[in-house]
Amino acid sequence: MNKPNVNKKPLRGLASVCAIAALAGALLATTAGVASAGYGPGALYQIELVAGDNGASLQLPPGQGGIKGPQGGGIWLWIALYPDFTADYSGTDCIDGGGTFGLHGAYPDAGDATWHYSGGSIVIPGILLKGLSVALGTPFYTTITVPAVYGHYTGTLGTFMTFSVPGILDPNGGLSLVQVAGGAPGTTP
């Protein structure tokens, strides 16, 4: 029996899922409306964050240059900020760190947080990233800091996020896309 000679590369499902999640988040960030109309009814702000490592900056073990996979990883979060300075978030962080450490997968991120203003920014501390927590064997928290003005913003990994464990991600690497939604671009509540 003749079978077609199909050269399939090893499954790239994880990379595809992470890429699709990042693209979906970016697309949503460009089309989102008033925060109170969808996720987080009653929210003053809705923050959509998509950040991609692109394999350029993940370092395990920390600060030692460790694994740097060509597929990289990514973070995708929705955060609803309420008038009482509470927040809730949902999303995922994806890791493709290489077979040596067995670090592959998309990990669900969800929880409650608080937020505050600092100058012209919104600061949201205590966002737990489960994938990086699994990779490190310890809780991995990030603080999200975004402009307090509705609109679209771009930057590197460190533009909008700071990390509780230094040396894991290069803050000058990767790409971040953020939408601060809830009203007309360029306005505040």
Does 12 map to a domain?
A: no
Max mean pLDDT among 1-5, 79-83, 139-143 falls in: 79-83
Does 156 map to a domain?
A: yes
Does 27 map to a domain?
A: no
Total domains in the chain come to: 1
| Mean pLDDT across 137-141 | 85
- Which residue type sits at 70? P
| Mean pLDDT across 153-177 | 81
Q: Model pTM?
A: 0.71
Confidence tier at 38 by pLDDT (50, 70, 90) = very low
- Which residues, including other chains, have CB under 8 Å from residue 93's CB and lie 6 or more apart? 73, 74, 75, 76, 106, 107, 109, 129, 130, 131, 132
Q: Nearest CA to 139 among 131, 147, 150, 151?
A: 131
Does 125 map to a domain?
A: yes
Does 145 map to a domain?
A: yes
Computed over every residue of the chain, the mean pLDDT equals 73
Residue 97 has pLDDT above 90, yes or no: no
- Which residue type sits at 182? G
Does 5 map to a domain?
A: no
The confidence score (pLDDT) of residue 84 equals 96
Structural domain span for residue 109: 35-181
